[in-house]
Amino acid sequence: MKRIGMLTSGGDCQALNATMRGVVKALYHNLKDVEIYGFQEGYKGLIHGNYRIMKPEDFSGILTKGGTILGTSRQPFKLMRVIGEDGIDKVKAMKDTYHKLKLDCLVVLGGNGTQKTANLLSEEGLNVVSLPKTIDNDIYGTEMTFGFQSAVDIATNAIDCIHTTADSHSRVFIVEVMGHKVGWLTLYAGIAGGADVILLPEIPYDIDNVIAAIEKRRKAGKRFTILAVAEGAISKEDAALGKKAYKEKVKNRKYPTVSYEIADQILKKTGQEVRVTVPGHTQRGGAPCPYDRVLSTRLGAAAAQMIIDKEYGYMASVVNGEISKTKLSDVAGTLKMVDPQSPIIKETRLLGISFGDE
């Protein structure tokens, strides 16, 4: 009997169910006796022993279903070793649940914080295999995360829809795309949607350069300008502040998000009408796109193979275009940022798209 625990942690995304299906389908097909323990609401379920024994039919028909059938929650990594008011030692509780159920392996699906906790449990002696989930595509050790392409499709569609109304009204439009620290989603959606200006957390912008790009289009007879702005986009002035000073400024900022601040600056400096569109959580919702269904299925099968081979302490990943595995210890605590000198940035600049830095 192989007893496998499984949980989804952090923000949801479109292909969590498809990935779990890939893992379980491969295990059922290649092992004679498997029991799946699904923990409810991420690490919270593992901490409190809240689980249910899953059946094969639970994983049937979920390839195209968004969200997660197990539910999820955010359990900050920095608090994992902190005993709260409830007096629970979270790490000990998770280990106790694992051993009480006599699990052979814990399968964890999640983003950066989730991967750090997965590595922590691996270092504590548990058999752990993880999978890279995030619409941000910012997990180190894999070229692609599941959920990213589905989110790109949604954000791109938002920009596509803005084109017609922007042209009709001769306005400047800002589409704010998810991504606090990393700009992969904004970059890809901005390129795919034909944005004229793309602002990323990794490339601090100068508002005068942004306005210069808008004015250049106006003088060329263009009726509108579209900006794809990451929610974590930052000006050069703010980037020069210390971490503490910047947090304080954001806390006291009179604008809901950076996009509204940029819109107000453009209006005051040029007199042009600016509208802000925020797709928000729609970028994480809905059914996974075909690309993500294929990627999730392959990553799930790779995770199952690791379990069969008893190769623990790894994350299923994409390396050099192929499904592979990366040590959890290499993944944990490292973000995969957009390199301002990368080929994709250079190629985008060649098209005349502005990043607001020059």
Q: Write out the DSSP string of 172-191.
A: EEEEEES-SS--HHHHHHHH
The CATH label, of 3.40.50.460, 3.40.50.261, 3.30.460.10, 3.30.950.10, for the domain at 151-284 is: 3.40.50.460
Domain range 2-147+288-331, CATH class = alpha beta
Helices and strands, number each (H, E), in the chain: 13, 11
Question: Chain-wide mean pLDDT for the chain?
Answer: 96
| Residue 34, both tokens | 């498997």
| Sequence-ordered alpha helix ranges (H) in 205-336 | 207-219, 236-239, 243-251, 258-270, 290-309, 328-331
The pLDDT value given to residue 2: 95
DSSP one-letter string for 29-76 = HH-SSEEEEEETTTHHHHHHT-EEEE-GGGGTT-TT--S-TT------
Quick: pLDDT tens for 131-189. 999 999 999 999 999 999 999 999 999 999 999 998 888 889 999 999 999 999 999 99
| Share in percent of the chain as helix, strand, coil (round to 5) | 45, 20, 35
- Do residues 148 and 178 touch, judged by C-beta distance below 8 A? no
The pLDDT value given to residue 214: 95
Please name every residue paired with 51 in a beta bridge, in sequence order, or none if there are none.
Answer: 39
DSSP state of 338: P
The pLDDT value given to residue 329: 97
Task: Please report, to the nearest 10 degrees, the dihedral formed by the alpha carbons of residues 46, 51, 129, 35 taken in order.
Answer: 150
Task: Please report, to the nearest 10 degrees, the dihedral formed by the alpha carbons of residues 236, 239, 241, 244 taken in order.
Answer: 150
- Do residues 318 and 179 touch, judged by C-beta distance below 8 A? no
- Do residues 340 and 189 touch, judged by C-beta distance below 8 A? no
The pLDDT value given to residue 134: 96
Q: What gap in Å lies between CA 106 and CA 145, rounded to an integer?
A: 20
The residues carrying an active-site annotation are: 136
Please name every residue paired with 197 in a beta bridge, in sequence order, or none if there are none.
Answer: 227, 354
Task: Compute how many other C-beta atoms are within 10 angstroms of the C-beta atom of residue 272.
Answer: 17
Task: Please report, to the nearest 10 degrees, the dihedral formed by the alpha carbons of residues 9, 120, 46, 63 taken in order.
Answer: 40
- Which stretches in the chain have pLDDT values below 50? none
- Do residues 191 and 159 touch, judged by C-beta distance below 8 A? no
| Side-chain-facing half-sphere of 41: CA atoms under 13 Å | 9
| Residue 155, both tokens | 């954000």
Task: Compute how many other C-beta atoms are within 10 angstroms of the C-beta atom of residue 186.
Answer: 29
The pLDDT value given to residue 250: 82
Task: Compute how many other C-beta atoms are within 10 angstroms of the C-beta atom of residue 99.
Answer: 11
The pLDDT value given to residue 84: 85
Helix (H, G, I), strand (E, B) or coil at 24: helix
Domain with CATH 3.40.50.460 in the chain: 151-284
CA angle 210/152/75 to nearest 5° reads: 100
Domain with CATH 3.40.50.450 in the chain: 2-147+288-331
